[in-house]
Every structure is written in C-alpha cells, then in structure tokens.
A and B are shown apart, each in its own frame.
Chain A
Amino acid sequence: MGVATKILAAGVLAAAVTAAGAATAEELVVVSWGGAYSASQQKAYHEPYMAQHPDIKIINDDSSNEAVAKLRAMHEAGNMSWDLVDVVAADAIRLCDEGLAMPIDADKWLAPSPDGTPASKDFGDLLVSECYIPQIVYSTTFGYRTDLLKEAPTSICDVFDTKRFPGKRSLEKRPINNMEWALICDGVAPDKIYDVLGTPEGAARALKKLGTIKDHVIWWTKGAQTPQLLADGEVVMGSTYNGRLFSVIEEEHQPIAMLWDWQVYDLDGWIVPTGTKHLDAVKKFVRFATDTQRLADQAKYISYGPARKSSAPLVGKHATLGIDMGPHMPTDPKNAKTTLLYNYEFWADNRDDLDAKFQAWLNQ
C-alpha cells in the first residue's frame, strides 16, 4: 500500500474506534413554550435528570404554540417525532378527545408525595383530563406602570376607565378572558358570566364594553409583547401571563406593578403523544419531572404555582434573586381574592363562533 493509503486507513480506523467508544445516548424530544418558562423547566427538570442519567439526552423544542396543529399533522403522516409535549389544559382536552394524547394512569405513572399520598389525590381536581399531567397553575393578569399613572389601579374595571387612567392598554388578540372581564365590568354577576356570554346579546354586550376602549388598545399575540410595551412606556396597563410580569418587575427592575384583580387561572402541563417512539424513557422522565420536589424546584425560577398540593410548602426563594417566591404566586391568598378559572367546556364549544365575531369587530 502507498503511504497515502496507509494514512487514510489509519484515519478511518481511528474514527471508527472513537465512534464505537462513545455511548449512544437515547434522545427525548420535549416540546415547550420557550423563553423564561422553558428555561425554568430546563434548570429544574432536564438538567438534573440528564446529570443523573447520562445515557439520556433531552432536546428542547419551542413549538408548543402550534403543538395541536403539528401533532395532528404528525399523526396523519404516521411519524411522531415528539416524546413529551407541554400544552395548556384546553389543548390537552382537545388532544385527548382526538386520541392524539395517551391516557395516563396517575397513580401508576406519577410518584406519590413524600408523605405517601397517591398522585391522583395530590393533584386532585387539577387532573382535568385523563391524558393530562398538570405542572403549574399560571394566570393571565394585568401589570401597570407605577410612574406613568397618577393613581394605582385597584380593580379590573380601572382598565376600562380611560379618564382616571389615561393611556394605552394592551390586551390579548382573542376573545378569551377579554370578554369575561368586559362583562364583569358591565355589571354581570361573576357566576352568570358564561350564561350571558353564551347568548348573542351577551356577546354583543361584551364587545360593546370593549368598544369603549378599543381606540386605546394595542393587541398582543405573544406573551413577551406586553412586558416590552410596558417597559417602553407604549402602554400604561397590559395583560399577560403573571410569570412574564414577575420577570420584568423583579429581574429587569422596571417600574411596573401587578394588578391581580380577577386574574384568570389556567393550567400548563404535559401530555404524551400517541405513537411516541421512546415510551419507557418518557415514563421514567415524567415520573421524575412531576414529583413533589421537582415542581417546587421549578418555582425557584419562575413565579408559577406548582400543581401538587404537597409542593406548595416547599416553595422557597428564587434561585438567583433570593426573594421569597410565595407572595408572587397566583395562588397566594393575597393575590387570589377574585379569580376566574378558564371555562374549558364553554370555550371548546363557543370559541370558533365568538372568535369570528371578535375578529370581525376588530377589523371594523
């Protein structure tokens, strides 16, 4: 053999040896929402798990926004490339109904709490679907600029009062939550909201109330927009997810404060897509990532309440800022005086219809 061929052969051999020597890691694709929320999951679940199990590699994908559409498409193509997906409860119910998410036996799959309570009791009523493992309780609520307003707003109806609180607001570009708030401020009793909203007159009434501030509203579609608008001073009040507001107030030190009145609770958690190729590895990961300590750990990085009852007393201080996380949780009694829980049944039925009315109203 010539010299060149010998060198080539040696190189190929060396490469083969190193490739064989490296451990083949099993890869799990975990899908989430991105931003501060994904970062908190990585620090609380993914990194500790990978440290304990070097043969598993967890890949983060930030596509939860289009999760339902993509899962449908993947299912139709017969090629499920995701292993665990983080979705809100409404999406989980939809996915479960369509058979795109696997039913989960809470007591078999999930770890009991440290004092022995089975998982199904520890999660309690938050197990809204047989396919869903709720992780956190988050809420959609308002933040406001403390320096751009003469007096601090104390009630949700201050959002509709442009005389005492002049300036622009930012609201989510969808009817959910906005219509409920509009009806509350139009005088409807909170326990009758969905009965009224279900009628055409009720929907028109909500839109009429929203119409009183329509010219003062910037409509957001992504959670990061309101904190940016508040920080820029473009709006004086804006709705978004409470964790984003925590981030902009405590981490970015902007002159913003929280308005918790009539915050709307929602759940965020895991579903396992049907057809996942790594079911055993996913089951082991889920058992780890949903136990009491892990949920309390996630609260160290972001101000979302853990879904397990046993995690609440373990919620401590922020990992880097050292502040107590308890008072910043949406479930804290001081913040939770008036709350709404997202009405999954109602919106599953009426979302398409009310959304069409809302979009037509927006475009006028």
Chain B
Amino acid sequence: MTVQAEPIGELRTVDGTQLKVSLARALRRQRLTAFAMVVPLLAFILITFLIPIADMLFRSVENSIVSDTLPGATAALDQWEGSSDALPDEAVYAAMVADLKVAKKNRTASRVGQRLNYQAPGMSSLFRSTARKVTRIKQAPYKAALIKSDKRWGDPETWRVIKLFSPRFTSGYFLAAVDAKQNTKGEIHLLPKEERIYLPLLWRTMLMSLAITVLTILLGFPIAYLIAKSPTRIGNLLIICVLLPFWTSLLVRTTSWIALLQKEGVINDFLVLIGAIDDSNRLVMIHNTTGSIIAMTHILLPFMVLPMYSVMKTIPPSYMRAGISLGAHPWRAFWRIYLPNTVPGIGAGSILVFILAIGYYITPELVGGTTGTFISNRIAYHISTSLNWGLGAALGVVLLVVVMAFYLLYDKVIGIDNMKLG
C-alpha cells in the first residue's frame, strides 16, 4: 500500500472512508450496543421506581376530584361572582343537587367532602349529610330545598370554598406544606406562629441531620483510621465489629437504646450507683432531641466508617513517612498530607449519612418524643392516618427539593467528582 502524502486529518481507512468518520461510526455503534444492554435495567427502574414516585408526587398538585365529582356545579360556579355577599342563583343549586344524586349513587360524595374539609372544617359533614338527604329533593325550586336540608348551603362562604377549589390543579397542598393558607378572597398569608408545624419541623430536621453527620464524622474517623492502620487480621476483625450491627434488626437496635437511655435505664442506674448524679435528678436522654441524635448516630455510623476506611486503605503510608522525614512534625504531616487525601471518603460518607438521616422515620418515631421527630414522621402520618395524600406528597416534594439544594451546595463546595467509595 502506498503512503499518500495527505495533510493530517485526511487519513483514510482501507475502504476509502475518512479515518475520523470511520472512527466516529465505530464509536457510535459501540455506544449503541452498550446502551442496548442497559435498556432493560433502565426500563425496570423507570417503570417500578421513577414513574410510581412521580405519580405520587403529582398528587401534590392534582385536584381533579372536585371537578370530577361535581362537574355541573363547578361549571355553573364559574359564572358566580364570589366576592359579593349574594348567593349563587338557582341554576347552580340545581346543578349541585344533580351532581350530589350521582355522587350518592357512586359513593363519591364523602371523599369530595373530605378533600374540601382539609381547607374548611365542616365540609365533610355537610357533604355527608346532604348526600343522605338529597334523594328527597325531587323538583325545583332547588335553592330553597337545598338550604332547607342544611343551612350551610345558604352561607356564601361554603360556595366560595367550593369555587376556590374547583380547578383541576391546586396550590393548596403546597401552601399547607409551608404553613401558608389562601383564604377565599385569594390572599395568601402565613399561619400565625402558634399554628406553624412544617417550617419549624423542616428546619429542625435539617439541623439535626447536620448534627448527626458531624458527629458521625468525628466518631467515624478514628475508627476508620484504626482499621486502616491495623494489620490485616485485626483489621478484618474490627470490620466485622462495624458490620455486625447491620445484621441486627433496626427495631432491636432502637429499642435497646430505649432500655439504655430511659430514666430508669442502664446508664442512669449506673450513674446513680457511682454517685455521679442524684436519684431524683436523673438525666433525661430519651423522648427528646438527644435521644434521636444518639440513636441515629449509632445506626448511621457504619455508613460513614466504611467509605472512609476504603479511601484510607488506598493512601500509601510512604506519604506520611516522606513528610516526617522532610522535617514535619507528625501532627502537621497528618494535617497537611493525610487528611486532605481522605476528603473524598469523608465526602462520600457525609452525603450518604445526611441523605439517610433527613429521610429517617422509624427511629425518631420511637425515641424522638415531640422535640426529636423529623418531617418524615409527619409525611408518614398523612399517608397512613389522616389520608391527606396531597399534603403528604407536597411535603415529600419539599423534602426532595431541600435534599437537591444540599446536593448542589455540596457539589459547589466539595465537588461531586471528588468523592470515592474506595
């Protein structure tokens, strides 16, 4: 084959195409093959993970229940001027009666009442009792008949609430999630200080998670250092000691903390025995913030120790020796040489611990009392007990946004690439 005198970049392959083009084609094929191999897993994650979560979070703005259950009434209310004190006219009442008759047959009346009850207490009983009586209203005038069945239908405020929550999408849940409320005039204002739940709770959750992260770093670093520096046999034994709690049930670990920390518990009994504290002045270490922080630090410690250990294992001991041999004090060598090399491990561990801590539910529920619970406990309450899934979803979105914000902050300060798990 003769070597042609062509400028660089004009090299050609055997079949005549440009090398650049041929290379690009080959790389694309390779990427496509790799992607095709990942597609099943991607589809699995999309279908079983991302889509259900997105569906649940969508409930935070979705409000089709009102317009679906009361189609005629909500359409008729469009024309009504909510701001005056006049009641809607006969057509609206007629539509409401028709809608309620259908709702009663389909058993949907109480759910729409419940939904409106989240905004205005009393709506639930109004819808329930009217649905029971509505079959007796057989002909016009519907307005008088409906008001006779329950006088709340004669209060314009009732109609204003229904009108405010007729649209298919609502901001009501998000407003409630940040302790705000929109009154029927359309003004949004924060709830008075004594009635705020979620903002203080969110703040407390973040602070406690940060405290737990810092504590795990302080406690985990010496442990990881010891394991990394020990000879293999002892090091393996220590690793098993760190992993053993993982194999114990979470509830067992939490309840054993209750037995240790409670007023009549092991720690208090011991301190009274050695005379450090008075019997009537026992330390209150549980059912409050302290209990939550202690128990969660213990439970999340392995998540910090393991990444740190894996990173420390890869730091060659010759670095420290080199520094000391050049005249540095051992402490200075540690501070200037060893510690910066462990930052990726600390970063990985702290992001793991922080994200786990901020979403934790079981341990704060059992040992947190009232001052040590997290926002996840309220989300669980709304999903299981009060069944206000919209509010639960809105709180979930708020939590997700907060975690994303922390993640971006972490990326700016430490850099997400600067993270190793070993």
Contacts and interface: CB of A to CB of B under 8 A. Distances in A.
A, B co-complexed: yes
Interface of A: 65-66, 68-69, 72, 94, 97-99, 168, 173, 218-219, 221, 232-234, 345, 348-353, 355-357, 359-364
Interface string B348-392: 000000000000000001000111000000100001111110000
A98 B110 contact: yes
Contacts of B369: 218-219
Given A232-B264, A234-B264, A348 B106 contact: no
B128 interface: yes
Given A219-B370, A363-B200, A352 B118 contact: yes
Interface residues of B, number: 35
A232 B262 contact: yes
Contacts of B111: 97-98
Contacts of A233: 263-264
A227 to B, nearest CB: 14
Contacts of A361: 194
B124 interface: yes
Given A69-B384, A98-B111, A221-B365, A363 B106 contact: no
Contacts, number: 73
A280 to B, nearest CB: 23
A348 B125 contact: yes
Contacts of B122: 349
Interface in B103-153: 106-111, 117-118, 121-122, 124-125, 128
Contact of B121 (A66, A99, A219, A349): A349
Nearest to A349: B125
B383 A352 contact: no
B195 interface: yes
B388 A352 contact: yes
A218 B366 CA distance: 11
B128 A69 contact: no
A352 B386 contact: yes
Nearest to B380: A66
Contacts of B385: 66, 69
A353 B195 CA distance: 11
A363 B369 CA distance: 10
B128 A352 contact: no
B64 to A, nearest CB: 13
Nearest to A274: B107
A355 B386 contact: yes
Given A66-B384, A69-B384, A360 B264 contact: no
B380 to A, nearest CB: 9
Contacts of B109: 97
